[in-house]
Structure 1
Amino acid sequence: MINSIRSKQIILISAMVLLVAFLFTRDIKGLVKPKEEPKAAVPAGGQMAATETAAINLNEVSTTGKNLLSANLSAEITSLENAFKSAPEAKKAEAAKLLAQKWDDVEQAVPSALYLEIVAEKEQSLNNWLVTGDRFLKAFDNTRDSLLQPALLQKANTAYTHAAKIDSTSADAKTGLGITIVNGMGMPMQGIAMLMDVVKKDPKNLKANMSLGTFAIKSGQFDKAITRFNSIIAIKPTPDAYFYLGTAYENLGKNQEAIDAYLKSKKLAGNATLSKFIDDKVKALSSKN
């Protein structure tokens, strides 16, 4: 009995390690980038304590980001920042858009999101708040800073809340809110219910379905995850959908199904780093057959 419990615990831990390895080596323009340090833990459920949420200093974030860039790119961003600071109020939004795009081009989601927030505050629209929320979620997913994570999640939640106020029927706003709630901005089941409502009204909503699928894996509901990701693949086969499907199969001991899913992920992604990771996984799983 004890051995059985330990086996289940090991399987679940394996799932989480695999998810972290995948989620935090993803590149938005490819699929994978060089391996980085593991992401720090975020509260798995329930509302984040207010004391955990600190303000984000744009100047500090910018300085940190520019230190990771080449001298030419850093100088280019500094020039855009100076233009933003000196721009008249009527031109601030346009200058902020340029900075948001430049920071996104160099894969720095935090400063990009902060400038998008400025745009949304000056030009209130559904799309501006949705784009801002999405960028803050991207920043939340990618950062390893445990102090920054709650602030980013809070800002994402706030952006989606603004979007929902503009259009209470927006599936994108409701999906974003559901994701932030499940990740710590409220009671997880409230967020799941919001995502389920989105999928009920729009069964082909990929973002809501993907979120429900990944949450199923994180909670150890691998059978539900398999059903969810197979449904997603039927709508639109993607590398990440196949990867998560493989993760679910692997943790149920269905090694051949896992191998098949991983190989399809590798084929669709066409990324050298992911390919190496999957080749190692396939080799390990094949030895168990």
Structure 2
Amino acid sequence: MKSPRTTQIVIIAGIVLLVGFLFSQDIKGLVKPKEDAAATMPQEAQTPGLSLAEASATAKNLISNAAAKEFTSLESAFQKASGEEKVNQAKVLAQKWDDLEQAIPSALYLEEAANGQSTLENWVKAGDRFLKAFDNTQDSVAKPVMLQKANTAYAKAIELDSTDLNAKTGMGITMVNGGGAPMAGITMLLDVVKKDPKNFRANMNLGMFAIKSGQFDKAIIRFEEIVQHIKATPDAYFYLATAYESLGKNKEAIDAYLQSKKLAANPTLSNFIDKKVAELKK
């Protein structure tokens, strides 16, 4: 029989594999975990140098020739533009890259837009897209740079408005993930929740961090609050289930897993949960 410690390690490992799947998608976008995503969409652009030109060139190799030509034309217009027009061109390019699930060039163009027009909204959007790039890329060089750029973008947003909860939430997430000041990041997220108890993103990340640190009782309280009073999502139920499972509360875990399956309505996740439920019923 597996020891409780071994069971917790297995569960946490499974969470790490599924976190990108659950957090990088909204309900309508819950399609496949990352290991299966390559079959339906291009892989995330890998950008060791992380310059805008290199990111774009790498991403163009992952899309159709027709789409690549369109980007070349848009980039030419971006280079020739100035002022507000250049900012708008950067936003167009960022959206088009994001539509193709290429978060690195998308984030870099949002950074260009924010540098050209330094507003709270622009820096928060850039930070959010850099966090998406951090979650999506498997490139060991690009990953920490994406996190650092996200942190910098949120810092600039906070300079413009120190009370903005979206910026503080993003900053807290980057601090915890960066390892430099994880407790300070958690404190920042707790402050966000204190001011906005129903802040979904802050609550979800606090719950995730509780699971990763083995504080399963706290995670259960957090995710129960989310699904009952904030927003019942497949990812919230999934993490609630893993927390219950880690404490040996199999009945509660099964119920939460099945709720996740019902809300996601995704074949891959459904198959995973069916196997998990069968194991828990033994």
- Give the TM-score normalised by the residue count of structure 1: 0.87
- Of the candidates 167, 174, 182, which is equivalent to residue 180 of structure 1? 174
4+ aligned runs moved over 6 Å, structure 1: none
Q: Which amino acid aligns with 1:165?
A: E
Residue 54 of structure 2 is aligned to residue 57 of structure 1? no
User: 1:16-165 maps to which residues of 2 (within 5 A)?
Assistant: 16-26=12-22, 28-29=25-26, 30-36=29-35, 56-165=50-159
Q: Distance in 1 between matches of 2:155 and 2:180?
A: 13
- Which of 1, 10, 29 is equivalent to 2:6? 10
Amino acid of the structure 1 residue aligned with 2:57:
T
Deviations along 1:172-215, whole A, 9 cap, x unmatched? 11111111111116321111111111111111111111110000
Q: Which amino acid aligns with 1:28?
A: Q
SS in 1 for 2:71: helix
Kept in 2, the 8 Å contact 1:157–1:177? The answer is: yes
* Other structure's SS at 1:32 match: coil
Match of 2:264 among 244, 266, 269: 269
| Distance 1:34-1:191 versus aligned 2 partners, 3 A rule | closer
Structure 1 residues 216 and 164, CA gap change in structure 2 (3 angstroms): same
Q: Which residue is equivalent to 1:240?
A: 235
- 1:184 and 1:35, CA in 2 relative to 1: closer, same or farther beyond 3 A? closer
The separation in 2 between residues aligned to 1:271 and 1:83, in whole angstroms, is 40
CA pair 113-35 structure 1, distance change in 2 beyond 3 A: closer
Per the alignment, residue 43 of structure 1 pairs with: none
Identify unmatched segments of 5+ residues in structure 2: 37-47
**Counterpart selection for 2:164 from 139, 160, 170:** 170
- Unaligned runs of at least 5 residues, structure 1: 38-53
Identity %, equivalent residues: 61
Residue 125 of structure 1: CA displacement? Answer: 0.9
Q: Higher relative contact order at CA 8 Å, sep ≥6: structure 1 or structure 2? A: 1
Partners of 2:34 and 2:244 in 1: CA distance: 24
Structure 2: distance between partners of 1:63 and 1:33:
26
Cα 1:252–1:147 shift into 2, 3 Å: same
CA distance 1:35–1:167, shift in 2 (3 Å):
closer
Instruction: Using the TM superposition, give the Cα deviation of residue 266 of structure 1 relative to its aligned residue in structure 2, in angstroms.
Output: 1.2
- In 2: Cα distance, 1:143 partner to 1:255 partner: 34
Corresponding residue number in structure 2 for 1:46? none
CA–CA distance in structure 2, aligned partners of residues 142 and 98 of structure 1: 21
Q: Residue type of the partner of 2:279?
A: A
Write the letter of the residue equivalent to 1:149. K
**Cα distance in 2 for residues equivalent to 1:127 and 1:183:** 23
Q: Which amino acid aligns with 2:90?
A: A
| Rounded Cα–Cα distance in structure 2 between residues aligned with 1:25 and 1:198 | 25
